[in-house]
Structure 1
């Protein structure tokens, strides 16, 4: 099973463990099993409105095992960052929750009582009660020279009713009014993940999240393996289009798949195989032999597309088609570079049994292909990249019969 390769799980909360007030199906049981396997558990969240004690209490009410020392939040990380950037005793305008104010005062800074007094810094975190006046006060102070820290920049947050604006959307409003970008403390910065791994002395942690731009990017930047779950913000289409820095190592439906064997992604002469699905890339288009509703088909598609586009700084917009039947033709039919996801990366494929010939007919002495007796050999050339016949567009063109 997938989890057997790791000694700790560093998981997000919103969209992974719960959505709104209720637990996501299978999450409670999946997290409860970790202790029995000797796997440490930490909750790494960009939520800046609740203290670790409150978060742990909420999780326990849902049936999830949780202690306050397992919770790593962006409010405390934001206050730590702010304390490094300003002096003790600095006047700080807190645009956020009561817990964020507690974090700031605990580090020796003074809360601004009025937007009209001298303000040295602004720290902004999510709170559902924030309004226009709060954002305006932040903009006024920043425009006058105050340093600005944001606990996190999640543009959206999942709720039971759907997707709602997150702290990143509120931060963007202040940026639009000031032309300034804040210092960011929480995910996707790697600090929270590194703290959690150090706390539990983990050498091989797995980062789990539902967002590419925070959870997966942050885990990747921390140098840890990452897994995205499809119970929150991301979809299979958004995973496919992900830029290089935000691509996860594993794609899971939900936390229950931690206890399944992760399917092997195999490079073949036809493309990337995952389970019964095969995906290939040609002329900027992904062809998948498989069903759209099959997650293995999307895993194969993502791997093929990512191999074909290994270094992208912005999201892509690939076309994808799902077909049934024989695998798509290999790249050698086009005789062009960069038309197939594997190119020179592919290992020599396993040639289908029906194409193995006697030793005296071996092309390049590489394979033994044995065609059915009713077929005869046609003149054949091998593609140097995939070692399959380079002149054919379908398997029936390999032979005369």
Structure 2
């Protein structure tokens, strides 16, 4: 694992299929494997092929509402065989974090679903439902769209009294079959606004989630696979491991191009078929011109930045064009983000 993440200015190349170059895929779920209740296109067959080739598949999710068993059963019903031990949730990460700071057997006020309660029981803690139950901690995790408003009031009462406050994750949104819905981060904001408190957070992109994942999977050369720059890709950056961004969930091409260094993935693919293929290199063409800037070539595409606007020439796989654009725009941005007009180039690629 890298000890000091570098400033990435282009995606990496891989001559070998990623499923062979890495021993374990640490896969996000929402927006990567499924959206709502249904599998995302190409996910099932791609994961089966990766597994058949010897890659270990682990499912790492910030969604704390369901138990690992429920998640595994859902995956299996979609045609992606999984066991509870293959699933790592932010509920498990936050339960470990709480258990390290409160007495054994302590009561914990839960604002969330069964996944969070089960993870607390696994650590020997007792979930309770009221601020009057003398909890040693308060924990919030995504509880689904039907979570009663009164649960937030219970959290506020306890946090206002000085009870330590924890959150499984801070994802503001979550993808669903109908679109983008509020996530746990939005619910945490309710308590934050009322109490002025600040929770300890376990989920991606923070270290407790990475620690939980490595402890439970034993991965030696992991590849983080996700759809979110601010959780999946930043989590890989913080953990010093490589990442693959798939464009099947929250992040679109424009957001990828505008990403700061912490949000720039090692690899990019349209969907999970990217696990089964190598990654083409991005080559910088000879520098020239009055500004000394070069162009970047990937596949049949050449990209550059001139006068604050991205330019793209060529033809071929649109993702190759996007990789070339990433190199041009990220090089221009350096340690910053944004500032380049990419609209025309992305329109040419169909993004």
- TM-score bucket (shorter structure): 0.7 to 0.9
Alignment correspondent of 2:241: 224
Alignment correspondent of 1:57: 73
Q: Is the 8 A contact 2:88 2:216 kept in 1?
A: no
After TM superposition, what 4+ stretches of structure 1 lie above 6 angstroms from structure 2? none
Alignment correspondent of 1:39: 55
Please list every run of 5 or more consecutive structure 2 residues that lacks an aligned counterpart in the other structure: 1-16, 287-293, 346-351
Query: Residue by residue, what CA displacement relative to the aligned partner does 1:123-176 show, whole Å, maximum 9, x if unpaired?
Result: 000012213211122122112111111011111111111111111111122112
Q: Is the 8 A contact 1:291 1:322 kept in 2?
A: no
Deviation at 1:317? 4.3
Q: Is the 8 A contact 2:303 2:312 kept in 1?
A: yes
Query: Residue by residue, what CA displacement relative to the aligned partner does 1:227-285 show, whole Å, maximum 9, x if unpaired?
Result: 11111101000111112111101111000122233121001124111112112223433
Alignment correspondent of 1:80: 96
Q: For 2:339 and 2:198, locate their aligned partners in 1 and report how far apart those are by CA, in whole Å.
A: 27
Alignment correspondent of 1:298: 322
Distance 1:162 1:182, change over 3 A: same
Q: Is the 8 A contact 1:228 1:252 kept in 2?
A: yes
How many residue pairs get aligned? The number is 321
Distance 1:86 1:248, change over 3 A: same
Q: For 1:11 and 1:113, locate their aligned partners in 2 and report how far apart those are by CA, in whole Å.
A: 32
Tell me the TM-score normalised to structure 1 length: 0.75
The CA RMSD measured in Å over matched residues stands at 2.1
Q: For 1:318 and 1:218, locate their aligned partners in 2 and report how far apart those are by CA, in whole Å.
A: 26
Alignment correspondent of 2:349: none
Q: For 2:316 and 2:181, locate their aligned partners in 1 and report how far apart those are by CA, in whole Å.
A: 28
Q: Which one of the candidate residues 170, 182, 193 is aligned to 2:187?
A: 170
Distance 1:122 1:211, change over 3 A: same
Alignment correspondent of 1:7: 23
Alignment correspondent of 1:121: 137
Query: Residue by residue, what CA displacement relative to the aligned partner does 1:334-372 show, whole Å, maximum 9, x if unpaired?
Result: xxxxxxxxxxxxxxxxxxxxxxxxxxxxxxxxxxxxxxx
Q: How does 1:208-223 map to 2 (within 5 A)?
A: 208-223=225-240
SS in 2 for 1:135: helix
Distance 1:194 1:99, change over 3 A: closer
Distance 1:117 1:201, change over 3 A: closer
Please list every run of 5 or more consecutive structure 1 residues that lacks an aligned counterpart in the other structure: 324-401
Distance 1:29 1:82, change over 3 A: same
Deviation at 1:194? 4.2
Q: Which one of the candidate residues 242, 258, 281 is aligned to 2:305?
A: 281
SS in 1 for 2:244: strand
Q: For 1:321 and 1:246, locate their aligned partners in 2 and report how far apart those are by CA, in whole Å.
A: 20
Alignment correspondent of 1:266: 283
Q: Is the 8 A contact 2:174 2:181 kept in 1?
A: yes
The structure with more radius of gyration: 1
Q: For 1:191 and 1:40, locate their aligned partners in 2 and report how far apart those are by CA, in whole Å.
A: 21
Is 1:93 paired with 2:109?
Answer: yes
